[in-house]
Amino acid sequence: MNNNKPYAYPSVASAQRGAVLIVVLLFLMLIMLVGVIAVRNSSTDLKLATSDQINTVLLQSSDSVNNKIEMSVNGDPISNEHKQIMSFTGIFGHYILNDSAENDIIDFCYRPRVGFFNINNAAIRRNTGKLVTNTEGYCDPKVTGDYTSARNTTMTQVMIKNVNKAAGARAFGHMTLGSDTEAKTTKMHTFNIYSTSVLPSYGNAKTDNIQDCFQKDASATEGGVAECMTKNNVPNKMLVEQVDVANVQSGEFCNFFGKDTKGNSSSQLCKDS
C-alpha cells in the first residue's frame, strides 16, 4: 500500500495575490519616502523664512535708533528730544560742550517707551575706567522696560563714540562755513553710532551672559558685543552709522511793542520768549 501523499503546488490565483501585496507595500513605502522628503524640505524652508524675518526685525530695530537720532538733531531746537541730544547732558552735547570729553564713550539702552535718552540711565566710559558707572546703561533681559516694544522681544543697545579728525583730512574741514575757529559750538564733530539689536528669547543663553555681552566694546574687532552674542547663540544685528554734527547757534532780534505782538514774528524762539 502506497502512503505517499501528492505534493500541493500553489495555485496561480494565490501567487497573484502575493504579487499584488508586494506592489502595495512598495507603493506605501514610496508614499512614506515622499512624505519624509516633503517634511524635511518644509522644515528647511520654515527655518530660512524664520531667519529672514529675524534679520529684518533686528535691522529695523537698529535702524529706528539712528532715524530717531537724526530726526531729533534736525528737529525743533526747543523740543525736549533735541535737548536730550544737543544739551550738555545729551549724547552729542556731552562731546560738543565739554572739552575733556573727546575720548569718552557713551553706552545706553534704547527705551523708546520710557524716553529716548536720559544721562542718569547711561554709562560713560573714559580711558580704561568709567566716568559714570550705571548698570541701567545696559539692557537687561529681565527688565520689561528695556525692550523696544510691549511684546518683549527685541532690545537695542547703543554706543556713541567720538571720531577724531583723520590724518590728512582737508584743512578746516571740521569747521562749519562762516564760523569762528574759537567757537566750539560751531565745530563739526564726527560720531560713530553702534546700534546692536538682539532677540534674547530666541536664544538659549542666560540673561546674565546677555547683559555681560552688552557691556563689551561694540567697536572692537575681536571680543565685541556682536561676537559675544553670537558665541552665546543669541540672534543679533549691529548697525554702524557715521554722522557729522555741528551745534549751529542762530538767533533773531525780537521786537515786542505790546503783549499781543509775539505772534507777529516768524521765529519760534520769539513766540516762546
Asked if 250 contacts 239 with a C-beta cutoff of 8 angstroms, the reply is no
> Residue 14's pLDDT is what?
56
DSSP state of 9: P
Q: How confident is the model at residue 85 (pLDDT cuts 50, 70, 90)?
A: confident
- Encode pLDDT of 93-126 as tens digits: 888 888 888 889 999 999 988 877 887 888 888 8
- CA atoms within 13 A of residue 241's CA, in its CB half-sphere: 17
> Residue 201's pLDDT is what?
85
Handedness of CA 119, 121, 125, 131 (dihedral sign): positive
Asked if 162 contacts 191 with a C-beta cutoff of 8 angstroms, the reply is yes
With a cut of 50, say whether residue 252 has pLDDT above it.
Answer: yes
- Encode pLDDT of 59-82 as tens digits: 998 999 888 888 888 888 888 888
Give mean pLDDT, residues 46-50: 49
For residue 254, give the nearest of 271, 229, 234 by alpha carbon. 271
- Encode pLDDT of 177-229 as tens digits: 444 445 455 678 899 999 999 999 887 889 899 999 999 999 998 999 999 99
d(CA 228, CA 105): 19
> Residue 5's pLDDT is what?
56
> Residue 178's pLDDT is what?
44
Residues linked to residue 164 through DSSP beta bridges, in sequence order: none
For the chain, give the mean pLDDT: 76
With a cut of 50, say whether residue 168 has pLDDT above it.
Answer: no
> Residue 72's pLDDT is what?
84
Q: How confident is the model at residue 10 (pLDDT cuts 50, 70, 90)?
A: low
d(CA 51, CA 251): 51
> Which of 37-41, 98-102, 136-140 is least confident?
37-41
d(CA 259, CA 118): 36
d(CA 82, CA 68): 10
d(CA 206, CA 100): 38
> Residue 161's pLDDT is what?
93
Asked if 66 contacts 196 with a C-beta cutoff of 8 angstroms, the reply is no
Using CB atoms within 10 Å of the CB of residue 1, give its burial: 0 to 12 exposed, 13 to 18 middle, 19+ buried: exposed
> Which of 15-24, 160-169, 218-227 is least confident?
15-24
Give mean pLDDT, residues 25-34: 76
**Whole-prediction pTM:** 0.68
With a cut of 50, say whether residue 29 has pLDDT above it.
Answer: yes
> Residue 254's pLDDT is what?
63
